[in-house]
């Protein structure tokens, strides 16, 4: 049973993204990352599974959620404390909103987002923010997983509008094409996809 605080739950996409981070753990030490959105709402790490995994693997992580959802921000902080990561910053940020916190973010290499492409009415705000962050950090990438819920929507036109490109990452390439990952059964039979988004003119891989 869901309430309005979508960020109080772990979603299947978060488990798949965490698996990708674990599969690439040797490349993470020293990387600077920002985790934002699960589900259909503001930038939000929710219970912050991918961000916690990245931090435990040596990345310098900032977790974010909506400044309007204090319970979700507290959930991020609690996840950090339970995983012995007391110094990981937690910021209030919102998709599509240019705030002092967004403007003052330190340089980043990776943006993490699980299940951000949920409601098409939010896609423009999401990609506006991603474009802003990638413009400030031209070699950064947005690593994102999403659940396919409808064959009727696509972000291709918006990617072109914002001069972004995407690369599809097959789940089998990082051992995530399973109904169970680790001790979690959340991937289940959901159709989950992963892509890496970057600036169209970026020469990053």
Q: How does strand 90-92 pair with strand 60-65?
A: parallel
pLDDT at position 4 is 41
Report whether 63 contacts 76 (CB < 8 A): yes
Residue 4 and residue 24: Cα distance in Å, rounded? 33
pLDDT tens for the chain, residues 1 to 205: 334 444 445 668 889 999 999 999 999 999 999 987 444 333 334 457 889 999 999 999 998 877 777 777 787 888 888 889 999 998 888 888 888 988 999 999 999 998 888 888 888 999 999 999 999 999 999 999 988 877 777 888 999 999 999 999 999 999 998 888 877 777 767 789 999 999 997 555 4
Q: Break the chain into its structural domains and give their ranges.
A: 40-199
Q: Check residue 174 and give its pLDDT.
A: 95
Cα 169–Cα 155–Cα 192 angle in degrees, nearest 5: 40
pLDDT of residue 203: 54
What separation in angstroms does the CA of 155 have from each of 25, 37, 57, 122?
29, 16, 31, 11
- Confidence (pLDDT) at 3: 42
- 146 within 8 A of 127, measured Cβ to Cβ: no
Measured CA distances, 200 to 135, 136, 144, 159, 203 (Å): 11, 14, 17, 9, 8
CA dihedral 161, 168, 6, 102 (to 10 degrees): -50
Residue partners of 156: CB distance under 8 A and separation at least 6: none
Q: What is the CATH number of domain 40-199?
A: 3.40.50.150
User: What's the pLDDT at 10?
Assistant: 63
**pLDDT at residue 116, rounded to an integer:** 86
Radius of gyration over every alpha carbon of the chain, rounded to an integer in angstroms: 15
């Amino acid at each position: 049973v869901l309430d309005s605080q979508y960020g109080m739950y772990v979603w299947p996409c978060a488990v798949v993204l965490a698996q990708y981070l674990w599969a690439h753990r040797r490349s993470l030490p020293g990387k600077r990352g920002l985790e934002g959105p699960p589900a259909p709402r503001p930038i939000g790490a929710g219970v912050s599974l991918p961000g916690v995994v990245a931090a435990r693997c040596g990345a310098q992580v900032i977790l974010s959620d909506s400044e309007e959802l204090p319970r979700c921000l507290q959930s991020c902080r609690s996840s950090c404390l339970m995983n012995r990561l007391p110094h990981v910053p937690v910021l209030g940020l919102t998709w599509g909103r240019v705030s002092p916190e967004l403007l003052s973010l330190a340089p980043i290499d990776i943006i993490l987002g699980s299940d951000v492409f949920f409601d098409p009415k939010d896609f423009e705000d999401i990609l506006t923010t991603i474009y802003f962050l990638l413009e400030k950090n031209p070699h950064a990438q947005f690593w994102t997983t999403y659940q396919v819920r409808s064959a009727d929507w696509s972000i291709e036109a918006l990617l072109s509008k914002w001069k972004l490109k995407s690369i599809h990452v097959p789940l089998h390439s990082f051992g995530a094409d399973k109904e169970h990952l680790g001790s979690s059964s959340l991937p289940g039979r959901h159709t989950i996809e992963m892509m890496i988004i970057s600036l169209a003119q970026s020469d990053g891989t």
